[in-house]
């Protein structure tokens, strides 16, 4: 998300409960950070909208507070979740989600620790991780904007971390300096170019792209506050049919957020969340440090109107998928620009982030951002679990 400190303050939260659901079994639940089997869930809990008949969505896991945002799935089927420290303090801000419904801090409990005892080690702990992503080689990446409570970055905290799932060890830890990730920044989502060894990041607080040379560790901030990076406050963005306006009367404004990398690695796509515009640029241009922002701006392609969305991802046929939260749906934009519906289901309470797998499955999280107190006159309406869904990618 973007402009987080103004708009996405979270209510105080209860412990994380997890349930792993399949079509044949009911869900267990347990505290966050646990690694063992879970206790039975409360059958009287309010679970939000019911599943429509013949919905293709399969519930993989569901959670009470804290809020899930990101999901990553490795080639071997291991699933990871991201629970940022927005208003609560999850035991497992990055977690491996077991098939039995267990949630285990990842890569270990020390990385998941953030309190007064470790304030002098901001590069060795998850402070407020926002994105977890599996690259094409099966490596796991975590992007940490390091802005707990959405109140500004912790000095020395913003980082991009690579973990080898075979050893569960950190193999690369790149600090993003303050001249790239300022105190008002919020590093949002990341894609990895494994061929050229670069990372591309949307930054939502100021509104910019961040490009990281993974060999040298050097990060550059590009196109800061360019119109293509900025949310639009004139659109009356809605969710559940209600315009998103905070308690002060301000309309939601979320800057550069969704990001996707074409299959041939030639183009980076992005869009501000509160916008109906989609943009792309050649990655070759982003990797060229000789180009000024003005020169880069000349290479930005305006791809026209698309629905407002949070997350994006591209399949093998270069269809661009969008988590279109205004109408509880997932849509895709074909290479020729046609917008097609993939699934619409009332349980898609603010669909957030995708993870695609080689076997043709799509995972998506729901974060119910529109039900938080910020957008409901101070009253939280998160009466449903946060979920990870799975469905088959359409042909």
pLDDT band at 233 (very low <50, low <70, confident <90, very high): confident
How far is Cα 228 from Cα 111, in angstroms, rounded to an integer?
35
CA 144 – CA 203 distance, rounded (Å): 11
Q: What's the pLDDT at 309?
A: 96
**DSSP structure string for 233-296:** TTS--EETTEE-B-TTSPBP---EEEEEE-TTS-EEEEEESS-SEEEEEEHHHHT-TT--HHHH
Q: How far apart are CA 109 and CA 193, in angstroms?
A: 29
- pLDDT, one tens digit per residue, over 125-168 is 999 999 999 999 999 999 999 999 888 999 999 999 999 999 99
Q: How far apart are CA 335 and CA 320, in angstroms?
A: 8
pLDDT of 201 over the 50 cut: yes
Where are the alpha helices (H) located in the chain, listed in sequence order?
A: 4-7, 109-112, 283-286, 293-297
Looking at per-residue pLDDT, the higher value among 345 and 36 belongs to: 345
Measure the CA–CA gap between 131 and 147, rounded to whole angstroms. Answer: 13
* pLDDT recorded at residue 46: 54
pLDDT above 90 as % of the chain: 73
Residue 320 confidence (pLDDT) above 50? yes
Q: Comparing 3-12, 271-280, 291-300, which segment has the lowest mean pLDDT?
A: 3-12
Kindly indicate the confidence band of residue 240, based on its pLDDT and cuts at 50, 70 and 90: confident
Residue 300 burial (CB count, 10 A): 18
Given a cut of 90, whether residue 175 has pLDDT beyond it is yes
Rounded to whole angstroms, the maximal C-alpha distance in the chain is: 61
Q: Considering only residues 249 and 28, tell me which one the structure prediction assigns the higher pLDDT.
A: 249
Tokens encoding 66:
């804290």
23-50 mean pLDDT: 40
C-alpha distances in angstroms, 181 versus 147, 207, 221, 239? 11, 11, 8, 30
Share of the chain above pLDDT 70, in %: 88
pLDDT classification of 12: cutoffs 50, 70, 90: very low
pLDDT above 70: residue 114: yes
Mean pLDDT of the 50-74 span? 92
User: Is the pLDDT at 174 greater than 80, yes or no?
Assistant: yes
Please tell me the distance from the alpha carbon of residue 80 to that of residue 26, in angstroms, as a whole number: 21
Give residue 32's pLDDT band: very low, low, confident or very high (50, 70, 90): very low
pLDDT > 80? residue 305: yes
Name beta bridge partners: 208: 203
Indicate the range of 170-184, 185-199, 229-243 predicted with least confidence: 229-243
Query: Per-residue pLDDT tens for 90-102?
Result: 999 999 998 876 7
pLDDT at 332 over 60: yes
Confidence (pLDDT) at 34: 38
Mean of the pLDDT values across residues 65-85?
94
Using DSSP's 3-state secondary structure scheme, residue 327 falls into helix
- pLDDT score, position 43: 32
Domains and CATH numbers, the chain: 4-42+55-392 (2.120.10.30)
């Amino acid at each position: 998300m973007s402009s987080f400190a103004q708009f996405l303050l979270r209510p105080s939260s209860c412990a994380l409960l997890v349930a792993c659901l399949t079509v044949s079994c009911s869900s267990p639940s347990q505290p966050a950070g646990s690694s063992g089997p879970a206790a039975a869930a409360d059958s009287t809990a309010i679970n939000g909208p019911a599943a429509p008949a013949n919905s293709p969505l399969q519930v993989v896991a569901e959670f009470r507070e804290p809020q899930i945002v990101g999901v990553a799935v490795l080639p071997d089927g291991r699933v990871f979740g991201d629970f940022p420290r927005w208003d609560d303090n999850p035991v497992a801000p990055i977690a491996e989600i077991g098939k039995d419904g267990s949630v285990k801090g990842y890569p270990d409990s020390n990385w998941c620790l953030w309190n007064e005892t470790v304030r002098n080690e901001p590069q060795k702990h998850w402070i407020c991780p926002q994105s977890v992503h599996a690259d094409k080689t099966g490596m796991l990446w975590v992007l940490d904007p390091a802005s707990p409570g959405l109140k500004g970055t912790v000095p020395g905290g913003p980082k991009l971390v690579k973990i080898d799932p075979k050893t569960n060890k950190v193999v690369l830890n790149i600090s993003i300096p303050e001249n790239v990730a300022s105190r008002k920044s919020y590093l949002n989502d990341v894609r990895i170019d494994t061929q050229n060894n670069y990372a591309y990041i949307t930054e939502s607080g100021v509104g910019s792209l961040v490009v990281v040379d993974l060999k040298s560790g050097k990060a550059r901030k590009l196109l800061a506050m360019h119109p293509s990076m900025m949310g639009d406050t004139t659109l009356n963005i809605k969710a559940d049919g209600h315009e998103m306006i905070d308690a002060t009367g301000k309309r939601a404004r979320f800057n550069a957020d969704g990001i996707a990398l074409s299959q041939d690695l030639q183009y980076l796509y992005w869009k501000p969340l509160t916008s109906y515009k989609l943009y792309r640029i050649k990655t070759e241009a982003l990797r060229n440090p000789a180009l000024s922002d003005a020169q880069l701006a000349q290479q930005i392609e305006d791809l026209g109107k698309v629905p407002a969305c949070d997350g994006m991802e591209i399949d093998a046929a270069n269809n661009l998928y969008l988590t279109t939260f205004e109408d509880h749906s997932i849509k895709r934009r074909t290479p020729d620009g046609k917008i097609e519906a993939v699934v619409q289901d009332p349980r898609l309470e603010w669909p957030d982030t995708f993870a695609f797998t080689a076997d043709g499955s799509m995972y998506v999280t729901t974060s119910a951002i529109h039900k938080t107190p910020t957008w409901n006159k101070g009253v939280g309406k998160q009466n449903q679990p946060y979920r990870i869904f799975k469905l088959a990618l359409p042909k």
